[in-house]
Amino acid sequence: MFELHIQPRFSETDALGHINNTVLPVWFEAARADIFRLVHPSLNPADWPMILAHIAVDFVDQIHLGSEVVITTGIKKIGSKSFTVDHLAHQKGVLVARGEAVLVWFDYAAQCSRPLPEAIRKLLTPLLQENDGTP
């Protein structure tokens, strides 16, 4: 499991005084960088092997300015052509948001999905978590 520490910025707050709901997908994308580096270490967009097919965010509690947010990232499911990334965001030890992203192994030249290579499965398998997001 990977961990990303984020210090919320004033610009990420909304009129109600908490972190805006549009910020969480951006934070979760930043947290996926560790997964990207694992499966495609060069991070070269010229031969990028994935495409984002789905994202979802559940807002569990309000997130406030002034306290760090810790996002843990793991793998929820490995399919034949895709894998699901699981994110949990905590502030002061309280779960504040949960998210997931489905990444499809993709051939941009042919514009179609491809089977997930066995080598990638082996890299992702140690990151598999239980369905509730716990290791």
pLDDT of 129 > 90? The answer is no
What integer best gives the mean pLDDT of the chain? 94
Q: List, for residues 15-42, the tens digit of each pLDDT value.
A: 888 999 999 999 999 999 999 999 999 9
For the segment 90-106, the average pLDDT, to the nearest whole number, is: 98
Residue 57: pLDDT band (50, 70, 90) is very high
Could you tell me which of 50, 31, 28 has the C-alpha nearest to residue 39? 50
* Full DSSP string of 12-68: GB-TTSBB-TTHHHHHHHHHTHHHHHHH-TT--GGG--EEEEEEEEEE-S--BTTS-
Radius of gyration of the chain (CA): 16
Which domains does the chain carry?
2-127 (3.10.129.10)
Query: Between 135 and 21, whose confidence is greater?
Result: 21
pTM above 0.75, yes or no: yes
